[in-house]
Amino acid sequence: MTPSTRRFQQRMKSHMITDFDNVPKPWLENKRPRDKFAYWIVYVLVFIGLAGGAVQAYFSYSGVLLDRQPLCLVMEENFDSQDAVFGDNGSFVREVSMDGFGNGEFSMATDSNNNSYVQDGKLYIVPTLTSDNLGNNAIFDGTIYNITGCTFNETQPNNGFLIGANGDKTFDTAGYTRACSAVSNKTSGAIINPVQSARLTTRGKSSLKFGRVEIRAKMPNGYMWPALWMLPVDNVYGPWPLSGEIDIVESRGNGIRYTARGSNYVQGSLNWGPTPQLNGVSKTYSWWSNKRVPFSDDFHTYALEWTDKFIRMYVDTRLHTLLELKLDKPFFQRGDFPAIIFNGSNPAALQNPWVNGTNATPFDQDFYLILNVAVGGTNGWFPESQGNKPWLDNAANPMRDFANAISQWYPTWPTNVEDRAMVVDYVKMWKHC
């Protein structure tokens, strides 16, 4: 007999329970309240969790700040023709200056088609080397460069005239010379701005107070500073920063390895304060970041939503917020400024320049739009000793140090002008009707 046939000769006795009634059921006899509690608590907690989640979701949804006012189109520019953009009645003005626009920028802003142009339905803003035009030696020595089309007179209050206490008008010759004329001199160390770029504005063309701005753009590549932003038309509360500045988006083209937030970051901010030294921007800026992908890789839509209750900047969707600020207290209170300031050695009580305003003041006046690409600067946008920064903001001549370090920054600029440029597909602005 093989072992397998022997296995079936005897049937195994079944141990299955057949008499259910007499089986001991200790869990039925011993009903401890604790067990009941343990049973129900699971369901109660699950319910509380779901209900709490629903309430939270409801409040997050209903708490989203939305602008429900009807909007009227102020301007729409799709960059279909160069003339419609830069012509006499064009939508933008090229601002031309060499004075660094108060930021110590090392680039000059030109009216040249080399630095701003319209092509295939898009606007390009491209930095180029000044040495391409003047030669390298001229930048460092022996040259006077008067920029063509300088717009100092048009962009300054009172056409560049300073008004004295007794009402006398004197032309701001020093300011005019800084903006319109540069001298290179090897002995003194003065140089001509080593980079040419462009700054386009809607100043005198279109502006808005409360509403919406939408710009579809691709950020530039390379060591540079692109910005889509707004300044007040009339400086109602005084000169910068008393009347505010709205930075819809600013970035650094410096690549994603840059250690002070490079091209995979976009930042939104508001500048405001009672004096230039007391700028409250550190309390009103924030950013959105793509972990790995630079904003120079593709077009994104940058938006500003602006009401007297809130200000929000975002990229592509409201879920990607650069900055969201609820205007729930006056900016002077938000600033937490010192009570006493010193003008030289004279102490003076700090005055609130917005004392008669609302929680939105100074962001309750008309602002115009600026599209620009700057290179370098000494206002701190490029933090010291980050990413091999080739100059110190407080050095004797930071622009010359930058120009001398061309082998550090120029290789970061793509040779292909279209890859280097900030490219803008469209701009739309609406205001509350």
Ligand X SMILES: *[C@@H]1O[C@H](CO)[C@@H](O)[C@H](O)[C@H]1NC(C)=O
Question: Annotated active-site positions, please?
Answer: 245, 250
| Cβ 93 to ligand X shortest distance, Å | 14
Q: Does 349 bind ligand X (CB under 6 A)?
A: no
Q: Does 76 bind ligand X (CB under 6 A)?
A: no
Distances (CA, A) of 265 to 153, 259, 260, 320, 423: 36, 11, 10, 11, 17
When binding is defined by CB under 6 A, the residue of 30, 345, 356, 385 that contacts ligand X is 356
When binding is defined by CB under 6 A, the residue of 188, 259, 333, 388 that contacts ligand X is 188
When binding is defined by CB under 6 A, the residue of 81, 137, 185, 358 that contacts ligand X is 185
Q: Does 153 bind ligand X (CB under 6 A)?
A: yes
| Cβ 341 to ligand X shortest distance, Å | 8
CB atoms within 10 A of CB 133: 14
Which residue, 2 or 343, is less far from ligand X as judged by CB?
343
User: What is the rounded CA–CA span in Å between residue 87 and residue 109?
Assistant: 18
When binding is defined by CB under 6 A, the residue of 76, 80, 132, 234 that contacts ligand X is 132
Which residue, 58 or 342, is less far from ligand X as judged by CB?
342
| Cβ 145 to ligand X shortest distance, Å | 8
Q: In the 3-class helix/strand/coil scheme, how is 348-368 assigned residue by residue? A: EECCCCCCCCCCCCCCCCCEE
Q: Does 150 bind ligand X (CB under 6 A)?
A: yes
Please list, residue by residue across 257-277, b when 16 or more beta carbons sit within 10 angstroms of its beta carbon and e when fewer do.
ebeebbbbbbbbbbbbbbbee
Q: Does 160 bind ligand X (CB under 6 A)?
A: yes
User: What is the rounded CA–CA span in Å between residue 79 and residue 122?
Assistant: 5
When binding is defined by CB under 6 A, the residue of 177, 290, 301, 379 that contacts ligand X is 177
Q: Does 187 bind ligand X (CB under 6 A)?
A: yes
Contact string 279-318 vs ligand X (x = CB under 6 A) = ----------------------------------------
When binding is defined by CB under 6 A, the residue of 343, 385, 415, 416 that contacts ligand X is 343
Q: Does 321 bind ligand X (CB under 6 A)?
A: no
When binding is defined by CB under 6 A, the residue of 12, 355, 396, 433 that contacts ligand X is 355
Q: Does 143 bind ligand X (CB under 6 A)?
A: no
User: What is the rounded CA–CA span in Å between residue 218 and residue 330?
Assistant: 35
| Cβ 44 to ligand X shortest distance, Å | 59
Which residue, 133 or 290, is less far from ligand X as judged by CB?
133
Evaluate whether 216 touches 209 at the Cβ level (below 8 Å): no
Binding range to ligand X, per CB under 6 A, among 10-18, 95-103, 143-151, 208-216: 143-151
Binding range to ligand X, per CB under 6 A, among 67-75, 100-108, 183-191, 228-236: 183-191
DSSP string, 156-225: SGGGGEEE-TTS-EEE-HHHHHHHHEEEEBTTTTB---SEEE-EEE-TTT-EESSEEEEEEEE---SS-E
Contact string 80-119 vs ligand X (x = CB under 6 A) = -------xxx----------------------x-x-----
Is the bond into 226 cis (omega within 30 degrees of 0)? no
Evaluate whether 96 touches 151 at the Cβ level (below 8 Å): yes
| Cβ 401 to ligand X shortest distance, Å | 18
Cross-strand partners of 93? 201
When binding is defined by CB under 6 A, the residue of 104, 353, 362, 376 that contacts ligand X is 353
Tokens representing residue 45 in the block: 């907690």
How many of the chain's residues bind ligand X (CB under 6 A)? Answer: 23
Q: Does 126 bind ligand X (CB under 6 A)?
A: no
Going by their DSSP bridges, the two strands 161-163 and 143-146 should be labelled as unpaired
| Cβ 364 to ligand X shortest distance, Å | 13
User: What is the rounded CA–CA span in Å between residue 302 and residue 72?
Assistant: 19
Q: Does 181 bind ligand X (CB under 6 A)?
A: yes
Distances (CA, A) of 192 to 24, 78, 82, 183, 195: 100, 35, 29, 6, 9
Q: Does 171 bind ligand X (CB under 6 A)?
A: yes
Which uninterrupted H or E stretch holds 140? Answer: helix 136-140
Name residue, tokens 């989640």.
53
Which uninterrupted H or E stretch holds 418? Answer: helix 417-420
Binding range to ligand X, per CB under 6 A, among 61-69, 350-358, 380-388, 421-429: 350-358
Binding site for ligand X (CB under 6 A): 87-89, 112, 114, 132-133, 144, 146, 150, 153, 160, 171, 177, 181, 185, 187-188, 275, 343, 353, 355-356
